[in-house]
Amino acid sequence: MTKNYGVALLITDQTYSRLTQRESYAIRRIEKVKVKGKSEAVTVYEVFDADSEEMKAGKLATLGRFTEALSLYDAGKFAESAQLFQECVAQIYGDRPQRPHHP
């Protein structure tokens, strides 16, 4: 899945919920996906601590907008979501997860 999203490390909600110091990591929610071998969709998160300093700083700077865009997307507000994702993309060139999969 990392190849599909263009990221180095993804974790599931099960791993995320077990982290004792989440604030110590650079993490953002990506989306709910159906994983091979599982009957229920799982939420995946990107851990981007190992990104270049420039990419990591950009992702941290846009984290609020990115999270809001995901919430709008989940609520079916695709136009509003797309606008926020575009704002994020404008700030971080090459950040692929900011282009969500449309239903």
Give the DSSP letter string of 43-84: EEEEE-TTS-HHHHHHHHHTHHHHHHHHHHHHTT-HHHHHHH
Is the pTM higher than 0.95? no
Question: What is the Cα–Cα distance from 21 to 3, expressed in whole angstroms?
Answer: 27
Average pLDDT over residues 11-21: 95
User: What value does the CA radius of gyration of the chain take, rounded to a whole number of Å?
Assistant: 13
**pLDDT tier, 102 (very low <50, low <70, confident <90, very high otherwise):** very low
pLDDT value at residue 103: 47
Contact predicate 22/49, CB 8 Å = no
**pLDDT tier, 19 (very low <50, low <70, confident <90, very high otherwise):** very high
